[in-house]
Structure 1
Amino acid sequence: MPKHMVDEIRAYARLFCEPDCNASGTPPSYTVSTLQLDSPKLSLHLAKERKLVNRFKLRVRTYGTDLKGTYFFEVKRREENYVRKTRSKVRAEQYCDALFEEPFCIPDLDADFEVSNHLEFLRLKNAIGARPVAHIRYERESWIGTVDKDVRVTMDRNIRYRRAEGYRFFGEDDGKWRVMDSEMGLRRPFGGLVLEIKSSLQVPTWILKMIRHFDLSRTGFCKYSTAMRLESLFSGDRYTAASDRCGF
């Protein structure tokens, strides 16, 4: 969405939402850093570009700017029109290359379901030979439903990416980031933000009214695939949705 809509949408969301307890400042925001993994032939990226009905992503995510928080190993699945995410979490001092490369290097996890989730992440990674491809970073403004805690309204800004260098995460002071929320990145006649409205299967009436009031239309925006498309353009390749010639 264009930047001029932000204040109005925020004012509307505040009638039904409260600031995310994990965010800080005004508006409530936090930094998201994501390491995207893919196979040598970029099968996960191409599954998205070709709009396969059932697909998944492999990623590691952390929050904040000091990179000293929790690291989440995530499998994000799309099954027809629904999205499901499983994750395991490790402390910053546990995070290392061995977690990806040594078969019996399992971190000290808090619950049995996290062990299952972590093993599933490793199973999928090994099955397709996944390795780090892109590091994506952005600022997320986040609001949570006051009554229905399953509702979340987020606005992502300052979206950027860079090539991955192994399993390390990069800090803010590195100058190799490339912008993704430009006209070229969004494929819109404006630079702007990415608005997400998430809920359970029972969508509250106020969300439907919000969509109608602001004339919002549902569209896909995959940060990882956008990074792949931009990198292809920057590297001089001709990009098509079915092309294997990506710049990574």
Structure 2
Amino acid sequence: MAGVQCSFERVEKKFVLTHAQAEALMRDLTAGYMAVDQYGQHTIRNLYYDTDDYALISRSIQRPKYKVKFRLRAYGTPIEDTLIFAELKKKYSGVVYKRRIAVSPDDMRRFLRGETLDGENPQIQRELHRYLSEHPIRPKVFLAYERVALYGLEDPELRVTLDTHLRYRTTRLDCFTDDAGELICPDDPVILEVKLANAAPLWLARLLSRHKIYMSSFSKYGTCYLNHLARRKPDIRPMAHKRNNEGEIEHAS
């Protein structure tokens, strides 16, 4: 769809914050460095696809060099003309590559049935269809959260997001019912993501250091799997969080 970015290549850095840290950081970020985007705080709904035994996320949490996820995503309150995104997100050696289409709910249903849609990038449609045809995946987990997104005043390519109230469910697996769910983490942290096309500015590194905010390998779907879904499989136990040699807190990837 015109006006929607369909391909990304960038580095994403993640951090786990307390609500007090997030509030203090927001004050500093918006004091001349960044601005909240036009959407303000909004709900993001995700529908993650996986095999029946969660093979994709089981592999992802082992921290391989290459990993991939397929999901549907909707932004804001669902209405009839809300865009639904079908996204193939790949990560290789720390770089994130995303390919997606954005269409109406009716067109998304057609696309998921294998139809090729007019007006959408045909190459990306082929890539998504090929992945779906080659992997026995289906909707497995609904995951929602509240997001505030900011962009850099000097470099609009610099994006920062703060996500709160992470919740999930394994029933009502679509993006258009209510967004209710069980909390993924009982302490309800704030997940900060810094999305970079270029090197991180020095002022951002200084702000993170000032507020004692340290990089983490946190993954929403991965943490949901470890905290809740893996318990249903007797051969997998939840992963303990620990610090690596660089002092980073390791969560699910």
Q: Among residues 89, 103, 106, which one is paired with 1:93 in the alignment?
A: 106
Is this contact kept in 2: 1:132–1:164, CA < 8 A? no
Q: CA deviation at 1:179?
A: 0.7
Q: Secondary structure at the match of 1:36?
A: strand
> Larger strand proportion, structure 1 or 2?
2
Q: Secondary structure at the match of 2:132?
A: helix
Q: Does 1:220 align with 2:217?
A: yes
Aligned match of 2:167: 160
> What TM-score do you get using the length of structure 1 for normalisation?
0.81
**Percent identity among equivalent residues?**
21
Query: Take 1:232 and 1:129, find their aligned partners in 2: how far apart are those partners?
Result: 19
Which residues of structure 2 form unaligned runs of 5+? 1-16, 240-253
Q: 1:236 to 1:200 in 2, by over 3 A?
A: closer
Q: 1:122 to 1:80 in 2, by over 3 A?
A: same
Aligned match of 2:88: 75
Query: Take 1:157 and 1:165, find their aligned partners in 2: how far apart are those partners?
Result: 21
Which residues of structure 1 form unaligned runs of 5+? 184-190, 243-248
Q: Secondary structure at the match of 2:162?
A: strand
Q: CA deviation at 1:118?
A: 2.0
**RMSD across aligned positions (CA):** 2.2
Aligned match of 1:120: 127
Query: Take 1:67 and 1:233, find their aligned partners in 2: how far apart are those partners?
Result: 34
Q: 1:41 to 1:236 in 2, by over 3 A?
A: closer
Amino acid of the structure 2 residue aligned with 1:43: A
Is this contact kept in 2: 1:53–1:80, CA < 8 A? yes
Amino acid of the structure 2 residue aligned with 1:240: R
1:142-201 alpha-carbon deviations (Å, 9 max, x no partner): 1111110111111101111111545x32433x75x1111423xxxxxxx32111112113
Bigger RCO (CA 8 Å, 6+ sep): 2
Query: Take 1:53 and 1:159, find their aligned partners in 2: how far apart are those partners?
Result: 26
Q: 1:233 to 1:123 in 2, by over 3 A?
A: closer
Q: Does 1:171 align with 2:177?
A: yes
Amino acid of the structure 1 residue aligned with 2:214: S
1:226-246 alpha-carbon deviations (Å, 9 max, x no partner): 22223336658574269xxxx
Q: 1:205 to 1:16 in 2, by over 3 A?
A: same
Query: Take 1:140 and 1:41, find their aligned partners in 2: how far apart are those partners?
Result: 30
Q: Does 1:11 align with 2:2?
A: no
Amino acid of the structure 2 residue aligned with 1:4: A
Q: Among residues 218, 221, 230, which one is paired with 2:227 in the alignment?
A: 230
Query: Take 1:124 and 1:10, find their aligned partners in 2: how far apart are those partners?
Result: 39
